[in-house]
Structure formats: C-alpha cells, structure tokens
Structure 1
Amino acid sequence: MRVVLGVTGGIAAYKAVFVLRLLREAGHRVRVVPTEAALRMVGRPTWEALSGEPVRTSVFDDAEHVDHVALGRGADLVIVAPATANLLAKAAAGLADDLLTATLLTVTCPVLLAPAMHTEMWQHPATRANVATLRSRGVHVLEPDSGRLTGADTGPGRLPEPATIVEAALGLLGHVTGAAPSAASPATPVPAGPDLAGRTVVVSAGGTREPLDPVRFLGNRSSGRQGVALAVAAAHRGARVTLVAANVEDVILPREANVEVHQVETTLQLRDAVRAAATGADVVIMAAAVADFRPVASAGHKIKKTSGAPAPIELVTNPDILAELAADRLRRGQVVVGFAAETGDGQRGVLEHGREKARRKGADLLAVNEVGADLGFGDVPNEVTVLDAAGDVVARARGTKGDVAEALLDAVADRLRATTTIDR
C-alpha cells in the first residue's frame, strides 16, 4: 500500500519517525512529505533513510513530474502527524502553499490527521471550527491525547502514540499493523465506518449536582469526558446525536453539525431532557453519573457556620433514570445503555456488583467500570466490562475515553443490527 506521511513543524514531529517505522515494518511504501518547519525539527536525511524515498517540500521541486498531483492520485492513504493548528487551518480553508497542503487538495483516498498543539490552541474556537469543517468533509481527525506537553504544562493537545495513529489510519482501510499496541494504549480498537448513519442517539454526560444552598451542592467526581467521547464517536459514525451534559466545565463540548447539546445541572433536569430527546431515539446511553439523593429542600441563602453542630440535611431518593428508560422504551426497538461506576467492598468485587445492577436495571447493555484515583473519573484511562441484561459479558475495552467509546458503540451497533433483523 502507498502511504503519504505528512509531517508539520510541531515539537512532536520526532514521533512521526516512529509512525514511519511502524508503517514500513508492516510492509507499506511510505512517501514522507514534510513542511519546511518540520525539517527544522527532524532533518531530511532521517526521512529519506528510513523511507527509502526522496523527500521534497515544495511544488517547485521536481516540477516536471507535478509531484503533488502524482502523490494525490497514487496514494492509498494519507496521514499527517503531527497536524499543527496551522495545518488544520490551511486544510480547512483549502490553501495550498507547499507540497503537503497541495497534495491534500488532490487526494481522493482516506485522510487521517493527528493533531498536536498546546491546549489553548486546541481549545480555541477557530481550531474547533476548522476540525468540524474537516470532519464534515469526511477527513478523519483524531482527538489529541491529554498529558505532558512542552515544558511543565499538561492538558489536551498531546500527539497520540505512534501505534495508536497507525492502527487508526490503517483501520480506515480495514488493514492491521501487526505491531503490538503501546503500553499507554493497549488493545486500541480500530475506528469503525458510518454504521450508525441514519440513527438517532441520545447521550448523557457529566455529573449531576443537587444544591444545598446557593453555594454548596451534593455532587460527584465525573468529568463528563467519557460521555462526550461517546457523543463525538457516534457523530463520526453517522448518527444524529443529542448530548445532555451535566456540569462539564472542564471538557470541550463537540461542535459537530450533527450534535445538539443541552446543558443541565440537577438530576431532575437531566431526566426531563433525556426523556424528551429519547422519544425519537434509536439509542439512549446514560453515561452521566447521576446523584442518587437530593436534599428535600435547598436553602435560599448560604448556610452559615455556627459554633454548634450543623443542622442535619434531610435527603430524598432521586428517580432511577436508567431503570425508567429500560422499562418504558420510549421508542420501539430502542437500545438502552447504562454505566455503572463501581468499587469492590470486601464482600463482592466490581463485576459482581455490576452483574446485580445489570439484572436490576434491565438495560440492554451496562458498561461496568472500576473507579479510583487513577482510573475511570477525569482525565485518566478507562476500563469497562460490558454486560447484557442477564449479566453476561458481551465486550471489554480498556484505553482512552475514545477507545472505550468506540468499543461500546461496536456493541451498540451489533445490538441494533440484531433488533432490526428481529423486527423484519
């Protein structure tokens, strides 16, 4: 297979050397097309020695062969890693001021861009708009990892690991690399095609908050990252998505044209929003961490600290939204999916608690995940075991929030196909 590997002038350009190595070890022919800035990070001799191909940056190099057209017509796959904010902006605008951007305008094969930049650049509205534009045109744009950036900074914007990039890119054509997954991303699933096209999906995300007074609330540690990852992945697989987001201040909400976002705070607000959207949905995924209890009454003013013991707070049980959805089935053939964040308690383990909850809730699928200081909640890896309503294991996934989202949506797509077959 003929691969064009574009490299731009980000500090993560050195990782593209390992992307090249993995592609070559898998038997693919790779033509590296760096920008001039990229050559200031990794020199031309490195790319030529490892690829065995000439390296050019300008359309005026070897002009008689019209290299950008030849590259575009001859490529089976294009990968750009790292893709800087500048490259994303140029590609979205259709600019072509060097060999790489000109080639991007001539290709008809799958294109995968792996962004890498500082957090503020990735979160800037201009970059988010450019990513949405590219995705709407069928370009595959990976979500960057979160982690250590240049200097002491950390956050979203880190280039995904080379093995992750290669698996994702080759997965667009149904190829496998044969390379072992990296320790940071074990068993990374291959992104699927548009198997949810024409489907309507509702996803809840985040953690509900129940106010005690105008300042304080009962809440939980859910960041909303897993639910947002599910909404984005479902949108990329062709679904029309409604995301009901509860208190997700630290997460970038999706800007895809086929994602509608509703922001809520409390459990009752989330319940109303989810049920309203679920009346016409094929799939409902309850990824939000919903508060089990709420105060009977919320004080109208800040509760003052006194020298005596604080007054007790009377609680009432919140509705079980997932169990209600599973029982009501607001649309025929609707697939209902829940999440169960669990810990062991000395008597039963995480999976045992999950099985009991799966049977009690009645959802079609329940993603059971162990939560702790470095797993589950927040900007950390996630690991889930997917159970059916009987408590039997139907899938497992571990890795980034995006990895888990893709694996869970694979199980959802399988359930939708089975439901469609039965209906017929």
Structure 2
Amino acid sequence: MIPYILEWGSLLLRWLHVVSAMAWIGASFFFMHLDASLRSTKDIPAGQGGSSWQVHGGGFYEMRKYLVAPEFMPEELTWHKWQAYTTWLSGFVLLAWIYYAQSHLYLINPDVMQLNAWQASALGVGALGLGWVIYDQLCKSPLGKNENVLGLVGLVAIVAASFGFTQVFSGRGALIHTGALMATWMAGNVFLIIIPNQRKVVASLMAGETPDPALGKQAKQRSTHNNYLTLPVVLLMLANHYPVLYANSAVIPPIVFLITISGSLIRHFYNVRHSDHAKSPWWTWAAAAVALWFTFWVAMASSPTGREQLGLSAAASVPAKESHVPAPAKVIEIVTSRCSMCHAAEPVWEGIQIAPKAVFLDTPANIARQADAINLQAVLSRAMPPNNITAMTDDERTAIAIWVKNSK
C-alpha cells in the first residue's frame, strides 16, 4: 500500500506543481511582454505609464499601465500571487516527498558524504533559506542599483550554490536543489517583496496619499529577476530525468552556468522584441545555441567511463537500433544481481512497487531488449543503480560496455 501511495502522491503533486507553474510562468511572460509593448498616450503623463493594444481570441484589448499608481483606487483589482505560492508550496512538498522521504535512493550518495535522512533534509531546507537571505541582501545592497553587476553576482551565487550542493548530495540531488534555490528566490520575491509593496501602494491610495514610487521600482526589479530565471529553473527541474546532466558531479557547476546563461538569453530576446525603442536581439539565439552546445559537450566529455577508456568509436556514440543480441551469462548475472530487484514484474526492493519507467530487466530477453538503455544508464552516465546503491563495480560496467559494443 505505501509504495502505491508514494507513487500516486508524487503524480498528483507533480500535476499540481506543473499546472500552477504554467499559470505563474504565463502571467510573468505576458506582463513582461506588456511592459515592452507599452506606448505613450495623451491621458497618461510622459514617464508615468502607457497603453498597449492586443488582439486575441477574436477580440481586441486595450491595456493600460501606471508606473506608480492611478489617481484613484479601482473598484475591482486582480492580484497575481496564488500561482507563485502554489507553485513553490507544491514544489517543496514534492521535493520532500521524493528526495527527503526517499533520500537514500535519490539524495544521499555515500561516496560524496555520509549522511542520514534527517541530516540531508536539514541541509537541503537550510540551504534554501540561507540562499534566499543572501540573494535578498544582495538586491538591497548598493549592488542592487546596477542591474548588470547584480545579475553577474547573482549568476556567480547560483553556480557557487550548485558547487556546494555537489559536495554534500548526489548529482541528481545537487541539480534539483539548485533549481529549488532559484525557485525559492522567485517565490520569495513575490511573497516578501512584490505583494507587500503593492499592498502599501493600495493603502496609500485608499488614504488619499501619493504612493512611494520606490516601492513599484523595487517590485519591478524582482519581477524582472523572476522572468529571467524562469527558463533555467524549468530545465533544472526537468534535469532529474536526464542522467547525462548529473552523472558527473564535478561538471554540474559549469552545466548550471551554461543552462542559466542560455535560458536567460532566450528570455531577453522575447522581453525586448516588442519594445518600440530597440531592435530584436537576434544574436541571443546564436549565443544561447552556443551555450547549449557547450552544455552538451561538457556533459558528453565528462562521462565517468569515457569513450576512449571503453574503446568505443565515434560511430558507436550515435544511437543505434535497439539490440536484441542475447547477453552473455556474465552480463545477465550482473544485471540480475544489480538491477532486477527494482526492474522486475514484482520488485523486491523496499518502497518500490512498480518497475521504474516500466523497464523490466528480469529475464535474458528483457536484458537484451534494453541493451542501449542499460549502456546509457549504467555505463556512460553511471546514473544507475541510483547512487550505486547495489555497488556495481567498474569491471561489471566495463563488461556491459563490451557486450553492447560487440552486439552492434
């Protein structure tokens, strides 16, 4: 019963997390686009706002923005906050559900640091809290007055955090916590800066006072940070499904750096594209492509086994048709003893009720059918067994690699 509850809980939490994130990201993208497309109007003084016409769904929309606040309090006001709150809360519960509740599978790597479950959980939660404090203080410091310098320092902080996580967690745990840290910055911006500042502006309007323009300026700065962090965070959250990105913890910091750069460049293009005072920065696509290519190269070149060590030719690195060549008895024994306790019709590993990704490695035929997947997961990336929990040796991985090479 417990394994089914864990699986269904993960599914429902992930669904909620994705749906709320879509709503939050959509709002962020739209309002950044709206800001870029604003044009001056006769009835809004210069420097105090503007309007934008949009067409969508068969109708026309006129949208107006006041940089500080209108002269009066509107009768109806829609607040954009629950998307952010729900995304972070569901994401944190999902983090605890998968990585803290099942830490020995996904978070703790004894070869990196010997931790028990509560220590790993405390380190993760503590890092998220400390990370927010550091980021918030950086924004409030003199550095916050220069967006370019602040952005560079923020990037260094993200990469440094990813390095720190690799010193205590598995590669998979390090990547997910780096993404969670950035997401915590984003949610903290909404909960502790943007919404409180907007409430102060509303209170001033209701009191017949002129709102402090610094409040809107600070909120806009944090909102812009959220927008540029969105794409890198999404990719880091997806990265746990792709072992090539976290197999070698040593290269996680440069991978995080390149992912953050590429995602931010893509967002910059769309943020500027509809502005009336700048040309579309098409160069950002080329720069993002280069960054992603370097990400691929770093991930491939850092494969723990190495193509040359295994004697694999360049052609062998190209995905081939699925192999059905029977595995030798030695390989069958290796896979059966190291993998089949989870990858079976009836898993015997505690806490696992259904074979992960419905991959079965419990018969010679199933093993042969999954040759390429076994090679990727157990040899090239060493992502499996997770944290090498069943102690697969280098010699065993080499035997698998030789079998796969000879079966082509």
With structure 1 as the length reference, what TM-score do the two structures score? 0.24
Structure with max Cα Rg: 2
Higher helix share: 2
Higher strand share: 1
Q: Which has the higher contact order (CA 8 A, sep 6+)?
A: 2
With structure 2 as the length reference, what TM-score do the two structures score? 0.24
